[in-house]
Every structure is written in structure tokens, then in C-alpha cells.
Amino acid sequence: MTTVVTTFESAARSFADLVHRIPDDRWTGPGLGDWDLRSLVGHASRSLVTVSTYLQTAAEHEDVATPQDYYAQIADYMTEAGAEAIIERGRQAGRDLGQDPTARVDALVKQVMTELQTAGDPLIAVIGGLGLRLHTYLPTRTFELAVHGLDIARASGLSFHLPAEVLEEATVLAARIAVLTGRGDDLLMALTGRTPLPPSFSVV
């Protein structure tokens, strides 16, 4: 039976496999926006780091009930944080990968999957001080690994096919975010070939 943990693991391992295939001469090349490829990979790797980090926290109350609620609630927080701070955090995450980024990513995957084996479903505190269940948070990390995995593949010129369960979970979550944030009509019309999406449309 597929669970949020096994789907997250599938996303994490496919991300690690992709990182192993990045050519040596691409790491300092363009990644996404103001990030070079190393920064983009570093940013994506934070989806592993934050799970391990937040497992060490405990929330007093549950503020977020679903993965789509998480994205809706952190939107204002991310705006207040500012684009420059987010860009710099990605660059720092890239530097944190060290001299051997592939080995670092492998180690992060191993660490987080070991921790999840006995973690259960605790109430954790995440960005902005929000409290939510681990199994509510994990699909948001699967989503990030899926989207940024595709970003990395495009930036590095590599073919990349997400595992079916990862692609399904991420796509369904994107649709749910769109509905929750009032953009479901636009998305549904585009997916059924009625109208194109508005310029710069994004669910996050």
C-alpha cells in the first residue's frame, strides 16, 4: 500500500538519482531565476533537511489540516520574508552541499528515511510556527522535490521521469491548492482545453 512516507521516499530517491547524473560542468551554470544549479539543488535538498529538523520540534496545537492548507497559510509568510532572503537561503543551501554534493544528498536521504522509520505521525512545528502532523507535511516535501526535480532536469539538460505515484500526488496537490486559493476554475478550463492559463499563473 502506498503511503505518504513511501511516496516521499520515492521522490527523495529519484531526486538523489538525478543529482548523481548532473554533469560536472553544469553545477555553476544557470539553475532557476537568480539561482545557479548548485543553489537550485541546495534549495531542493532543504525538503530533506527540513523534515529532519522539524522532527526535533513539537507543536502545541494543529494549525494546518491538509497539505493545501499549508501552502495557503505560508503564502503571506513567504511574502513577508522577501525574495532576497529566499534567494540567499537557496544559495546557502547550495554552499552547504560541500565539495561532494552527490554524497551529501545521499547522506540526507539516508538520514531522513532512517528517522521516518520510527517517527510515527507527530505534531510538528514548521516554518512560521505552524503546527501540523508529519503526514500532512510530507506531501508538501514530495511536491517540492517533484517540481524542483523537473527544474533541475531542465536546467542541466537531462531526461527525468518522476515516479508515477510522485507525479500523481504532486499534481493532485497542485490542483487542490488552486481550488483552495480561488484559481481552480482557471486550472480546470486549461486542463480541459478550453482556455489557456493566465500569464504567470502559479498555484504557489
CATH value at residue 66 = 1.20.120.450
CA nearest to 21, candidates 37, 7, 5: 37
Beta bridge partners of 35: 32
Whether the CB-CB separation of 97 and 105 falls below 8 Å is answered with yes
Report the pLDDT value the prediction gives residue 1, as an integer from 0 to 100. 53
pLDDT tens readout for residues 69-110: 999 999 877 777 677 888 899 999 999 999 999 999 999 999
Non-local CB neighbours of 85 within 8 Å, separated by 6+ positions: none
Distance CA(202)–CA(179), nearest Å, equals 12
For 57, half-sphere exposure in the C-beta direction (CA atoms, 13 angstrom radius) is 20
Count structural domains, the chain: 1
Does 199 reside within a domain?
no
Does 201 reside within a domain?
no
Give me the domain span that covers residue 65: 4-191
Q: Which stretches of the chain score pLDDT less than 50?
A: none
CA nearest to 73, candidates 12, 136, 15, 8: 136
Report the pLDDT value the prediction gives residue 81, as an integer from 0 to 100. 66
Does 77 reside within a domain?
yes
Does 107 reside within a domain?
yes
Report the pLDDT value the prediction gives residue 86, as an integer from 0 to 100. 86
Does 143 reside within a domain?
yes
CA nearest to 135, candidates 64, 53, 75: 64
Report the pLDDT value the prediction gives residue 78, as an integer from 0 to 100. 74
**pTM for this predicted structure:** 0.95
Whether the CB-CB separation of 191 and 58 falls below 8 Å is answered with no
Does 120 reside within a domain?
yes
Does 70 reside within a domain?
yes
C-alpha cell read off for 188: 480546470
Helix (H) or strand (E) holding 35: strand 35-36
- Cα–Cα distances in angstroms (integers) from residue 132 to residues 145, 171, 185, in the given order: 20, 21, 28
